[in-house]
Protein backbone atom coordinates (compact mmCIF):
# COMPACT_ATOMS: atom_id res chain seq x y z
CA UNK A 1 0.00 0.00 0.00
CA UNK A 2 1.44 3.42 -0.88
CA UNK A 3 2.00 6.08 1.76
CA UNK A 4 -0.83 8.50 2.49
CA UNK A 5 0.89 11.22 0.48
CA UNK A 6 2.28 10.79 -3.02
CA UNK A 7 5.27 12.96 -2.11
CA UNK A 8 6.25 11.25 1.15
CA UNK A 9 8.51 8.25 0.64
CA UNK A 10 8.75 6.87 4.16
CA UNK A 11 7.00 6.93 7.48
CA UNK A 12 8.15 10.46 8.31
CA UNK A 13 8.04 13.64 6.25
CA UNK A 14 11.56 14.73 5.31
CA UNK A 15 12.86 18.15 4.29
CA UNK A 16 12.88 16.85 0.71
CA UNK A 17 9.17 15.96 1.03
CA UNK A 18 8.44 19.43 2.42
CA UNK A 19 10.25 21.04 -0.50
CA UNK A 20 8.28 19.00 -3.03
CA UNK A 21 4.96 19.84 -1.34
CA UNK A 22 5.79 23.57 -1.26
CA UNK A 23 6.98 23.49 -4.88
CA UNK A 24 3.75 21.74 -5.91
CA UNK A 25 1.65 24.48 -4.33
CA UNK A 26 3.74 27.22 -5.94
CA UNK A 27 3.86 25.54 -9.38
CA UNK A 28 0.07 25.06 -9.26
CA UNK A 29 -0.51 28.69 -8.35
CA UNK A 30 2.08 30.43 -10.55
CA UNK A 31 3.19 27.84 -13.11
CA UNK A 32 6.55 26.08 -13.29
CA UNK A 33 8.25 28.96 -15.09
CA UNK A 34 6.64 31.54 -12.80
CA UNK A 35 8.39 30.23 -9.69
CA UNK A 36 12.04 30.69 -8.80
CA UNK A 37 14.25 28.65 -6.55
CA UNK A 38 14.28 31.47 -3.95
CA UNK A 39 10.47 31.36 -3.64
CA UNK A 40 10.50 27.61 -3.10
CA UNK A 41 13.22 27.95 -0.46
CA UNK A 42 11.34 30.75 1.30
CA UNK A 43 8.22 28.58 1.43
CA UNK A 44 10.09 25.97 3.51
CA UNK A 45 12.22 28.41 5.51
CA UNK A 46 15.58 27.99 3.77
CA UNK A 47 17.49 29.97 1.18
CA UNK A 48 17.00 29.17 -2.49
CA UNK A 49 20.58 27.97 -2.95
CA UNK A 50 20.14 25.59 0.02
CA UNK A 51 17.63 23.66 -2.12
CA UNK A 52 20.56 22.39 -4.17
CA UNK A 53 21.52 20.19 -1.22
CA UNK A 54 18.27 18.30 -1.87
CA UNK A 55 17.73 18.62 -5.64
CA UNK A 56 20.16 19.26 -8.47
CA UNK A 57 17.70 21.68 -10.16
CA UNK A 58 14.14 22.94 -10.28
CA UNK A 59 13.65 20.58 -13.25
CA UNK A 60 14.71 17.67 -11.04
CA UNK A 61 12.08 18.70 -8.48
CA UNK A 62 9.38 18.66 -11.12
CA UNK A 63 10.59 15.31 -12.42
CA UNK A 64 10.52 13.71 -8.99
CA UNK A 65 7.15 15.29 -8.22
CA UNK A 66 5.41 14.01 -11.36
CA UNK A 67 7.11 10.62 -11.22
CA UNK A 68 6.05 10.26 -7.57
CA UNK A 69 2.44 11.12 -8.40
CA UNK A 70 2.33 8.59 -11.21
CA UNK A 71 3.94 5.86 -9.10
CA UNK A 72 1.58 6.62 -6.20
CA UNK A 73 -1.47 6.27 -8.43
CA UNK A 74 -0.21 3.04 -10.01
CA UNK A 75 0.71 1.50 -6.64
CA UNK A 76 -2.54 2.62 -5.03
CA UNK A 77 -4.68 1.44 -7.93
CA UNK A 78 -2.91 -1.92 -7.99
CA UNK A 79 -3.39 -2.24 -4.21
CA UNK A 80 -7.13 -1.53 -4.52
CA UNK A 81 -7.46 -4.27 -7.14
CA UNK A 82 -5.47 -6.70 -4.96
CA UNK A 83 -7.92 -6.13 -2.09
CA UNK A 84 -10.41 -8.08 -4.18
CA UNK A 85 -14.17 -8.19 -4.11
CA UNK A 86 -16.75 -8.39 -6.84
CA UNK A 87 -15.92 -6.57 -10.08
CA UNK A 88 -18.37 -3.81 -9.07
CA UNK A 89 -16.73 -3.44 -5.65
CA UNK A 90 -13.26 -3.31 -7.16
CA UNK A 91 -14.35 -0.64 -9.65
CA UNK A 92 -16.01 1.42 -6.91
CA UNK A 93 -12.86 1.13 -4.78
CA UNK A 94 -10.67 2.26 -7.67
CA UNK A 95 -12.94 5.23 -8.40
CA UNK A 96 -12.97 6.23 -4.74
CA UNK A 97 -9.17 5.91 -4.48
CA UNK A 98 -8.66 8.27 -7.42
CA UNK A 99 -11.28 10.74 -6.18
CA UNK A 100 -9.69 10.77 -2.72
CA UNK A 101 -6.35 11.54 -4.36
CA UNK A 102 -7.83 14.29 -6.53
CA UNK A 103 -9.63 15.94 -3.61
CA UNK A 104 -6.66 15.76 -1.26
CA UNK A 105 -4.02 16.78 -3.81
CA UNK A 106 -5.49 19.50 -6.06
CA UNK A 107 -2.10 21.19 -6.47
CA UNK A 108 -0.55 17.97 -7.76
CA UNK A 109 -3.42 17.46 -10.21
CA UNK A 110 -2.87 21.01 -11.49
CA UNK A 111 0.91 20.60 -11.76
CA UNK A 112 0.55 17.33 -13.65
CA UNK A 113 -2.06 18.80 -15.98
CA UNK A 114 0.01 21.90 -16.80
CA UNK A 115 3.63 20.84 -16.62
CA UNK A 116 4.13 17.45 -18.23
CA UNK A 117 5.73 19.19 -21.21
CA UNK A 118 8.29 20.84 -18.91
CA UNK A 119 9.81 17.50 -17.89
CA UNK A 120 13.14 16.30 -19.20
CA UNK A 121 12.78 13.61 -21.86
CA UNK A 122 13.79 10.74 -19.52
CA UNK A 123 11.37 11.94 -16.81
CA UNK A 124 8.57 12.41 -19.36
CA UNK A 125 9.10 8.86 -20.65
CA UNK A 126 9.03 7.44 -17.12
CA UNK A 127 5.89 9.38 -16.17
CA UNK A 128 4.13 8.34 -19.39
CA UNK A 129 5.07 4.68 -18.84
CA UNK A 130 3.70 4.76 -15.27
CA UNK A 131 0.53 6.52 -16.46
CA UNK A 132 -0.02 3.91 -19.20
CA UNK A 133 0.31 1.13 -16.63
CA UNK A 134 -2.22 2.90 -14.35
CA UNK A 135 -4.65 3.24 -17.24
CA UNK A 136 -4.28 -0.49 -17.97
CA UNK A 137 -5.24 -1.26 -14.35
CA UNK A 138 -8.41 0.70 -15.01
CA UNK A 139 -9.02 -1.00 -18.36
CA UNK A 140 -8.98 -4.46 -16.79
CA UNK A 141 -11.23 -3.39 -13.89
CA UNK A 142 -13.70 -1.55 -16.14
CA UNK A 143 -13.91 -4.52 -18.51
CA UNK A 144 -14.55 -6.89 -15.60
CA UNK A 145 -17.33 -4.71 -14.15
CA UNK A 146 -18.94 -3.46 -17.36
CA UNK A 147 -19.72 -6.32 -19.70
CA UNK A 148 -19.23 -6.09 -23.43
CA UNK A 149 -16.41 -3.54 -23.60
CA UNK A 150 -13.27 -4.07 -25.61
CA UNK A 151 -9.93 -2.60 -24.47
CA UNK A 152 -10.23 0.50 -26.65
CA UNK A 153 -13.68 1.43 -25.37
CA UNK A 154 -12.72 0.71 -21.74
CA UNK A 155 -9.55 2.82 -22.14
CA UNK A 156 -11.55 5.69 -23.64
CA UNK A 157 -14.07 5.48 -20.81
CA UNK A 158 -11.29 5.50 -18.22
CA UNK A 159 -9.70 8.60 -19.75
CA UNK A 160 -13.06 10.38 -19.85
CA UNK A 161 -13.64 9.60 -16.18
CA UNK A 162 -10.11 10.79 -15.29
CA UNK A 163 -11.09 14.14 -16.79
CA UNK A 164 -14.16 14.24 -14.57
CA UNK A 165 -12.33 13.23 -11.40
CA UNK A 166 -9.31 15.44 -12.08
CA UNK A 167 -11.52 18.51 -12.57
CA UNK A 168 -11.67 18.94 -8.78
CA UNK A 169 -9.12 21.79 -8.58
CA UNK A 170 -11.50 23.79 -10.79
CA UNK A 171 -14.84 22.76 -9.25
CA UNK A 172 -14.71 23.03 -5.48
CA UNK A 173 -18.28 24.28 -5.02
CA UNK A 174 -19.32 21.62 -2.51
CA UNK A 175 -17.79 20.37 0.73
CA UNK A 176 -15.31 17.56 0.03
CA UNK A 177 -17.52 14.75 1.34
CA UNK A 178 -20.45 15.84 -0.84
CA UNK A 179 -18.20 16.40 -3.84
CA UNK A 180 -16.64 12.94 -3.35
CA UNK A 181 -20.10 11.35 -3.28
CA UNK A 182 -21.18 13.28 -6.38
CA UNK A 183 -18.00 12.47 -8.31
CA UNK A 184 -18.27 8.79 -7.37
CA UNK A 185 -21.86 8.64 -8.60
CA UNK A 186 -21.02 10.46 -11.83
CA UNK A 187 -17.86 8.44 -12.51
CA UNK A 188 -19.53 5.09 -11.95
CA UNK A 189 -22.56 6.18 -13.97
CA UNK A 190 -20.36 7.21 -16.86
CA UNK A 191 -18.37 3.96 -16.75
CA UNK A 192 -21.48 1.76 -16.66
CA UNK A 193 -23.01 3.81 -19.49
CA UNK A 194 -19.99 3.03 -21.69
CA UNK A 195 -21.54 -0.30 -22.85
Domain boundaries, the chain: 57-191
Does the reported pTM lie above 0.75? Answer: yes
pLDDT tier, 8 (very low <50, low <70, confident <90, very high otherwise): low
Euclidean distance between CA atoms 52 and 178, whole angstroms:
42
Please give the radius of gyration of the chain, using alpha carbons only, rounded to the nearest integer.
18
pLDDT tier, 9 (very low <50, low <70, confident <90, very high otherwise): low
Is the domain defined by 57-191 classed in CATH 3.30.70.330?
no
pLDDT value for 158: 97
* Cβ–Cβ < 8 Å for 77, 86: no
Q: What is the end-to-end Cα distance of the chain in Å, rounded?
A: 31
- For 140-188, the pLDDT digits (tens) are 999 999 989 999 999 999 999 999 999 887 777 899 999 999 999 999 9
Please count the CA atoms within 13 angstroms of the CA of 128 that sit on its side-chain side: 10
How does DSSP assign the chain, residue by residue? ---SSTT--SSS--HHHHHHHHHHHHHHHH-GGG--HHHHHHHTTS-GGGGGGT-S-HHHHHHHHHHHHHHHHHHHHHHHHHT---HHHHHHHHHHHHHHHHHH-HHHHHHHHHHGGGS-HHHHHHHHHHHHHHHHHHHHHHHHHSTT--HHHHHHHHHHHHHHHTTGGG---S-HHHHHHHHHHHHHHHHHTT-
What's the full length of the chain, in residues?
195
- For 102-141, the pLDDT digits (tens) are 999 999 999 998 999 999 999 999 999 999 999 999 999 9
Examine the pLDDT at 7 and tell me if it is beyond 80.
no
- For 78-111, the pLDDT digits (tens) are 999 999 999 999 999 999 999 999 999 999 999 9
Euclidean distance between CA atoms 159 and 117, whole angstroms:
19
Amino acid sequence: MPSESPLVRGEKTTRRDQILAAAAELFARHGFHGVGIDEIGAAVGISGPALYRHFRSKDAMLGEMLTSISRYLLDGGTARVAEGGSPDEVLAGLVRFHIDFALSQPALITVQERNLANLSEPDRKEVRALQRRYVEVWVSVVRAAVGGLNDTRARSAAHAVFGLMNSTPHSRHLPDDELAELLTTLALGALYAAK
